[in-house]
Structure 1
Amino acid sequence: MNAPTNTPANVDSQPRCYALLPCAGVGARAGADGPKQYVRIAGQAMVAHTLAALARVPRIAATLVVLAGDDDRFEALLPGFEGERGWLCKRGGATRADSVAGGLDELLARGARRDDWVLVHDAARCLLRPAWVERLIDACLADAVGGLLALPLADTLKRAEGGRVAETLPRADKWAAQTPQMFRIGLLRDALARAGSAVTDEASAIEALGLRPLLVEGDAANLKVTWPSDFTLAERLLAERQEESA
Structure 2
Amino acid sequence: MNKQESPNLAVVVPAAGVGKRMQSACPKQYLTINHKTVLEHTVERLLSHQSIDKVIIALGENDGYFADTSLVNHPNVETVIGGQERVDSVLAGLYRVQAIGYDWVLVHDAARPCVKTSDIDQLINHCLSANQGGLLAYPAKDTIKRSSSDGSVAETVERSVLWHALTPQMYPTVKLIDAIVAGLAQNKVITDESSAMELANEPSQLIEGASDNIKITRPEDLALAKFILSNQQLSNQETICE
- For 2:156, the equivalent position in structure 1 comes to 168
Q: In the aligned structure 1, how far is the partner of 2:74 from the partner of 2:68?
A: 12
Query: Which of 121, 142, 147 in structure 1 is aligned with 2:108?
Result: 121
Tell me, yes or no, if structure 1 residue 177 matches structure 2 residue 168: no
Once the two structures are TM-superposed, the CA of residue 192 in structure 1 deviates from its matched residue by: 0.3
Once the two structures are TM-superposed, the CA of residue 232 in structure 1 deviates from its matched residue by: 1.6
Q: Structure 2 regions of 5+ residues with no counterpart?
A: 238-242
Q: TM-score, normalised by structure 2?
A: 0.88
SS, match of residue 82 in structure 1: coil
Query: Which of 56, 62, 69 in structure 1 is aligned with 2:61?
Result: 69
Q: In the aligned structure 1, how far is the partner of 2:72 from the partner of 2:80?
A: 15
Q: Is the 8 A contact 2:66 2:72 kept in 1?
A: no
Higher helix share: 2
Q: In the aligned structure 2, how far is the partner of 1:107 from the partner of 1:218?
A: 25
Query: Which of 10, 25, 30 in structure 1 is aligned with 2:22?
Result: 30
Tell me, yes or no, if structure 1 residue 47 matches structure 2 residue 39: yes
Tell me, yes or no, if structure 1 residue 101 matches structure 2 residue 91: yes
Per-residue CA deviations over 1:38-71 (Å, capped at 9, x if unaligned) read 0012221111111111111111131111111111
Tell me, yes or no, if structure 1 residue 143 matches structure 2 residue 130: yes
SS, match of residue 160 in structure 2: coil
SS, match of residue 64 in structure 2: coil
Once the two structures are TM-superposed, the CA of residue 243 in structure 1 deviates from its matched residue by: 4.7
Tell me, yes or no, if structure 1 residue 134 matches structure 2 residue 133: no
Q: In the aligned structure 2, how far is the partner of 1:98 from the partner of 1:80?
A: 22
Q: Is the 8 A contact 1:36 1:46 kept in 2?
A: yes
- For 1:3, the equivalent position in structure 2 comes to none
Given residue 220 of structure 1, which amino acid in structure 2 is its aligned partner?
Answer: S
Given residue 60 of structure 2, which amino acid in structure 1 is its aligned partner?
Answer: A
Structural mapping, 1:169-208, within 5 Å: 169-196=157-184, 198-208=189-199
> How high is the sequence identity, in percent, across the aligned residues?
37
- For 1:86, the equivalent position in structure 2 comes to 77
Once the two structures are TM-superposed, the CA of residue 144 in structure 1 deviates from its matched residue by: 3.2
- For 2:240, the equivalent position in structure 1 comes to none
With over 3 angstroms needed to count, the CA separation of the structure-2 counterparts of 1:163 and 1:152, relative to structure 1, is same
Pairwise CA RMSD: 1.9
Q: In the aligned structure 1, how far is the partner of 2:18 from the partner of 2:92?
A: 17
Q: Is the 8 A contact 1:136 1:149 kept in 2?
A: yes
SS, match of residue 167 in structure 2: strand
- The alignment covers a number of residue pairs equal to 229
Q: In the aligned structure 1, how far is the partner of 2:115 from the partner of 2:229?
A: 10
With over 3 angstroms needed to count, the CA separation of the structure-2 counterparts of 1:112 and 1:170, relative to structure 1, is same
Q: In the aligned structure 2, how far is the partner of 1:29 from the partner of 1:47?
A: 17
Once the two structures are TM-superposed, the CA of residue 242 in structure 1 deviates from its matched residue by: 4.0
Q: In the aligned structure 2, how far is the partner of 1:147 from the partner of 1:128?
A: 16
Q: In the aligned structure 2, how far is the partner of 1:14 from the partner of 1:239?
A: 30
Given residue 217 of structure 1, which amino acid in structure 2 is its aligned partner?
Answer: E
Once the two structures are TM-superposed, the CA of residue 80 in structure 1 deviates from its matched residue by: 5.0
Once the two structures are TM-superposed, the CA of residue 168 in structure 1 deviates from its matched residue by: 1.3
Q: Is the 8 A contact 1:17 1:117 kept in 2?
A: yes
With over 3 angstroms needed to count, the CA separation of the structure-2 counterparts of 1:53 and 1:14, relative to structure 1, is closer
Once the two structures are TM-superposed, the CA of residue 221 in structure 1 deviates from its matched residue by: 0.6
With over 3 angstroms needed to count, the CA separation of the structure-2 counterparts of 1:164 and 1:118, relative to structure 1, is same
Q: TM-score, normalised by structure 1?
A: 0.87
